[in-house]
Amino acid sequence: MAESLLWAAALFAGDDPRRTATWVHWDSYRYIDIARRGYFEDAGAPEASNTGWFPGFPLLVRLTSEPLHVKPARVGRAVALLFELGVLTLMWTRLLPPVSPARRWLALMAAAVFPAFFYRHAVFPLSMTAFFSLAAISCGAAGRFAAAGACAFVAATSYPTGFLVAAPLAAAVALAPGLSAYERGRALVAGPGLTLLGLVTVFGALYATVGRWDAFLAYQERFGQGLFNPVEVLAGHAQPLLRASPDAAALVSLQTALATVLLGLAAGLLWCERQASRPLDGLLLGHAVALWLFVNGAGPNVSVYRQAASLVGLVPLLARLRARGLAVLLAVLLALGAGMACLFFENLLV
């Protein structure tokens, strides 16, 4: 369903969805560049450097494309789709609560077209990050902290928000019943510890290739990223909505506002049904809150509409809506997704 919607949006925007180039936009070129020749830094022209992107996704593309003699862009598209399939499989088998079949199917379809879902189909690492983050949370909720840490390690190397899964994993360790002090300490090392090791590995890879461990941070500083009040940043993103003008900026602003509303709705549903909630539910909400705070707190120049794709972990909480409510939510997501996908294919989303 989601892929069909994207094909229709691409055709509407004048692109051929059968061409790999249709799925390559903006940062996709950077990931392909890293996959082809690794990291480099140009002191004379810093904007030409490729140190502002994480290595996990391009490394996987390179390790796959070289032995198969397939272009990195084509491999990147296939990798993104495979991980998106993994995300939906995790939803169905591990994450959705025990609700009626109708509600499960509606929730699964909502996950498939969750805000910014098209980034999880294009040559971007967001489906990879979402898959390993959700797998880590699932394993952490089950007390399998070594497996959770291994998944979280990969998530942390794939995207700048990937390390945030350390927060719910730390909560899972703290709340795990029946552990001795030694076992709890070992679990902290295996879960959150491996997550942070993934982040350290990124900085180590940059140091080994360009001679600077902080090359990523230096690149991002050029865009004014830092520590900001997330509420003020969100209010700034909402300004196009106040103009009541039906343009691209208003649609982007609407998605940003909707993502925040869905976060609040998920928290409310979990609170109302807290007696029947699972440990997994609290971890999913904690991860979503950490993502929201980090992305909005990084500053107004962050592509916050892109980060909404990582909030797909809210769907198991939203599955507590009645079937009619889920159907309405799905209709809203389909309409919004179609419009945003057109902007993506028209190259209007940075």
State pLDDT tens for residues 121-136.
Answer: 999 999 999 999 999 9
> Does pLDDT of 227 surpass 80?
no
Measured distance CA(241)–CA(253) in Å, rounded: 6
Which 3 state secondary structure label does DSSP give 247? Answer: coil
> Does pLDDT of 243 surpass 90?
no
Lowest mean pLDDT among 109-118, 142-151, 175-184, 216-225: 216-225
H-run or E-run covering 163: none
Mean pLDDT computed over every residue of the chain = 94
Alpha-helical runs (H) found in the chain: 2-12, 27-37, 56-68, 72-90, 101-112, 126-141, 145-158, 166-175, 181-188, 194-210, 215-221, 230-237, 239-242, 248-272, 279-297, 304-307, 315-318, 323-345
Domain assignment present for residue 185? The answer is: yes
Measured distance CA(1)–CA(105) in Å, rounded: 12
Domain assignment present for residue 350? The answer is: no
Domain assignment present for residue 201? The answer is: yes
Range of the domain at 262: 2-345
Res 98: pLDDT: 94
> Does pLDDT of 62 surpass 70?
yes
State pLDDT tens for residues 23-47.
Answer: 999 999 999 999 999 999 987 777 7
- 241: confidence class by pLDDT, cuts 50, 70, 90: confident
- 14: confidence class by pLDDT, cuts 50, 70, 90: very high
Res 121: pLDDT: 98
Look up the pTM and report it.
Answer: 0.96
Q: What is the mean pLDDT of residues 43-67?
A: 92
Domain assignment present for residue 95? The answer is: yes
Q: Give me the percent of the chain exceeding a pLDDT of 90.
A: 84
Res 196: pLDDT: 97
Q: What is the mean pLDDT of residues 339-350?
A: 93
Domain assignment present for residue 319? The answer is: yes
DSSP states of 98-131: S--HHHHHHHHHHHHT-TTGGGGTSSSSHHHHHH
Number of structural domains in the chain: 1
> Does pLDDT of 116 surpass 70?
yes
- 244: confidence class by pLDDT, cuts 50, 70, 90: low
Domain assignment present for residue 299? The answer is: yes
